Amino acid sequence: MQINLNTINFILLCLILTGCSKAKIQESESTPPKIDNITQAPTTTTPTQSQTLKNTKTTYNGTYEAKMNNPSLAKTQPLHLKLQEDKKFIAYPNHEPNNKTRGNWKVEGDFLICTGTTEQTKQIMTLKIDSISMELISISQKINGKKTEMFLKQFIPKGAKNITFLRKPNS
């Protein structure tokens, strides 16, 4: 059996290279990296979107609109919300422009809370909105001293997962 000298050289070269690369891997695994404390740049982490929004002062002032289902009319319509600088708000569904809810708004933890009285029916309404996503979390009403949570699912438009207020442009 005759072996070509080039084949032997090639096999030896492969073995040497394989041995060197394994030695490098083992060496790097067992030896911790050297850190030059003088020239090493500080490590920073990038905050998530929700951390950034929570750490910055958010301006909520403006006009918002959400799509909601009107069960009595069996159609989708806008729900209007205007947040003013003086912590006052106005809210009304499109089918009740003459029965606006007017009151005060505040940020409480992760929620934007709007509490006010309807103009005509004199109900006390409270809207609880996620302060980051602007998703409507709950609506409660107080009639004759009795507070009732409204069943939100009936107001969510067909095909939607929730009711979310979007800021209208130029507001």
pLDDT at 9 (0 to 100): 44
pLDDT at 125 (0 to 100): 95
Residue 96 lies in a domain: yes
CA distance 134 to 58: 12
Residue 30 lies in a domain: no
CATH number (domain holding residue 159): 2.40.160
Residue 115 lies in a domain: yes
Its domain, for residue 92, covers 60-167
Task: Name the phi and psi angles at 28, rounded to 5.
Answer: -70, -30
pLDDT band at 67 (very low <50, low <70, confident <90, very high): very high
Question: DSSP state, 125?
Answer: E
Residue 29 has pLDDT above 70, yes or no: no
pLDDT at 57 (0 to 100): 64
Residue 147 lies in a domain: yes
How does pLDDT run across 145-169, given as a tens digit for each residue?
Answer: 888 998 899 999 999 999 999 999 8
CA dihedral over 3, 4, 5, 7, signed as positive or negative: negative
Q: Is 64 exposed, middle or buried, given 0-12, 13-18 or 19+ CB atoms closer than 10 A?
A: buried
